[in-house]
Structure 1
Amino acid sequence: MVSDQLADRLAERTAMARYRVWRRIGWTSVAAVVVAGLVWAAFFSPLLALDPEQVRVSGQGTTVNVGQVRETVTDESGVPLPRIDTVRLREEILALNAVKDVTITRAWPDGLAVALTSREPVAAVPQAGDVYALMDAEGVRVGTAEDVPDDLPSIVVSLADGAAGRRAMDAALAVLGALPPRLAADIKTVSAATQDDVRTTLSDGRVIRWGSGAQVELKTKVAQTLLRAEPSARTIDVSSPDLPVTN
């Protein structure tokens, strides 16, 4: 009798253990099916596929060809968002003219937000063929114009020595790129005989001698103070900002 009870208990425990195993297998199988479904839905189904109508481009400025940016992005149309290689896409957009930086964000469930930082021209540089190259503060050409735009100064740099001329150009662009908008808008021409002799001429004919492109922020503050304090001065020399000179 006792042996029968022990056998029954053993059989019951065996059955319970077998039930737990099968239940665990069942739940594992269900979980695997759910995960597989989620993977398929995210990476292969059209549920999260990029819709070209949901591509938003912002921050294009005045120089970026938004059509080119949008075309580059919409080449990914129909690709599920998790599978879009945003690193590669960013590199492709950065290779476009006048794009300085870009941030790409997935806009679930089917869009992309593309935030651009454009390269804006700070000066027009005379070129062969009676045209002007529009240059940004880092010396990158962002466009071409037949005449100097009204809102940009022209730069005069001696290019007889290519390397020295380039250094002079970089110094001039560094000065222009660091100026506050109001002062930059008042500059009509820029000359740079060397990298240490940058000069700007304002719309009223006054000249500011900046020296090199170093300490532009401090030089700007000194120049603005002297422009207000000595309106009759025709030349303001802030090449040594601690010892400015006017005449």
Structure 2
Amino acid sequence: MKRPQGFEHRPAPLPPAVPGRPARPGASGSKSTPKATPKSAEPSSRDAAQTEPIRTQPGEPVPAPALLAPVFPLRRTDEAGETANPQPAPGLSPGFTPVLTPAAARSRLRGARRARKQYEREEVRRFTGRSRRRRTTWLVSLGTLAALIAFVVAGAYSPLMALRTIEVVGANRVPADQVRAALEGQLGTPLPLVDLTAVRDDLSRFRLIRSYAVESRPPGTIVVRIVEREPIGVIPSDSGFDLVDAAGVVIESGDEPQDGYPAITAEVGSSGFTAAAAVVESLPAGIRTQLTTVAAATKDDVTLTLDGGARVVWGSVEESDYKAVVLGALMVEHPVGEVDEYDVSSPDSAVLR
């Protein structure tokens, strides 16, 4: 059986010649001729180093042969796991693994400890920095909110925000001085603390006020915007004639009918009165001033009477705006006096009689 390459049998080296001792066969000067060594069986550099004879001086002790392999540092690897220096050290076979010495191991351990401590310090610094920024943000937000609340509270109770002036806008039939006098009880109150319920109770005494709105103007003024009731006609009553609005609220009473307003022949609160009021409100001002009478027995039977005796058959309150436009066009083309009756109960097919 053939031995693998590198494991061929090699004869042991001959010891050096000692004076007074005969040399072994095969030594220098011997007549025997050594056999030629095959080329493939030549010893390697490492084997040659191990088989080289030790030469000493006479009387000097022979040193022990080196049994341990030379020590080399561990091979470094890159990020991909490849060996940084794949070439073996000189004199070593490709399969040789260097031995890590205790000093190198301690040095590597110290380096790893320093790297870990540095990493931990960076992590602590990053975590504490983030916590510090979060804490600063919360403190700033809470401080801003507290300052805003303090400003609002201080402004609400500060004498600088006390009510000193009351302005009334939109009052025509209602005297503005009476409205201001009714609200004098709110003077001196901070604007945010004005009692709107008390304001409503004070203004409810004026029946001509249909609606209102209160607007604050710092530092010490409120504006009361009034929407008055609009009269639509006159109805007879026990006391004479009452001027009423679309809701039937009496605006003014007198012994004689008020000029410029038609007489409504319908009971207040009935469906006929509601329909008549809706029709009057839909008419333009030019036609409304010509009305003399508005009759509504039911909500679907509204009839108007114009100056000059012409009648307008209106019908129901549906499409009142459209009917008003058609009536205005008919009155322009056919004025009152030429026509006795305008029938706009069906506005798409109006009839003149």
> What TM bracket, shorter-length normalisation?
0.7 to 0.9
Higher RCO (CA-CA < 8 Å; seq separation 6+)? 1
How far off its partner does 1:45 sit?
Answer: 3.6
**Which position in structure 2 is the counterpart of 1:5?**
none
**Which position in structure 1 is the counterpart of 2:223?**
113
Picking from 261, 267, 271, the partner of 1:152 is 261
**Which position in structure 2 is the counterpart of 1:59?**
170
**Which position in structure 1 is the counterpart of 2:160?**
47
The CA deviation string for residues 47-94 of structure 1, in whole angstroms up to 9 with x for no partner, is 22111xx211111233x3434422332220111111113365346535
- The reply on whether 1:240 has 2:346 as its aligned counterpart is yes
**Which position in structure 2 is the counterpart of 1:93?**
203
Provide the rounded CA distance (Å) in 2 between the counterparts of 1:69 and 1:36.
Answer: 35
Which secondary structure state, in structure 1, belongs to the residue aligned with residue 348 of structure 2?
Answer: coil
Which secondary structure state, in structure 2, belongs to the residue aligned with residue 122 of structure 1?
Answer: strand
Provide the rounded CA distance (Å) in 2 between the counterparts of 1:117 and 1:221.
Answer: 27
1:163-174 → structure 2 map (5 Å cutoff):
166-174=270-278
What TM-score comes out, normalization by structure 1 length?
0.74
Which secondary structure state, in structure 2, belongs to the residue aligned with residue 144 of structure 1?
Answer: strand
Q: 1:66 to 1:34 in 2, by over 3 A?
A: closer
Provide the rounded CA distance (Å) in 2 between the counterparts of 1:99 and 1:123.
Answer: 17
Q: Greater strand percent: which structure?
A: 1
Q: 1:94 to 1:216 in 2, by over 3 A?
A: farther
Provide the rounded CA distance (Å) in 1 between the counterparts of 2:307 and 2:198.
Answer: 46
Provide the rounded CA distance (Å) in 2 between the counterparts of 1:95 and 1:215.
Answer: 36
Provide the rounded CA distance (Å) in 2 between the counterparts of 1:217 and 1:122.
Answer: 17
How far off its partner does 1:35 sit?
Answer: 6.6
In the alignment, structure 1 segments of 5+ residues that lack a partner are 1-23
% of aligned pairs identical? 31
Provide the rounded CA distance (Å) in 2 between the counterparts of 1:225 and 1:34.
Answer: 62
Q: 1:36 to 1:200 in 2, by over 3 A?
A: same
After TM superposition, where is structure 1 displaced by more than 6 Å over at least 4 residues in a row? 31-35
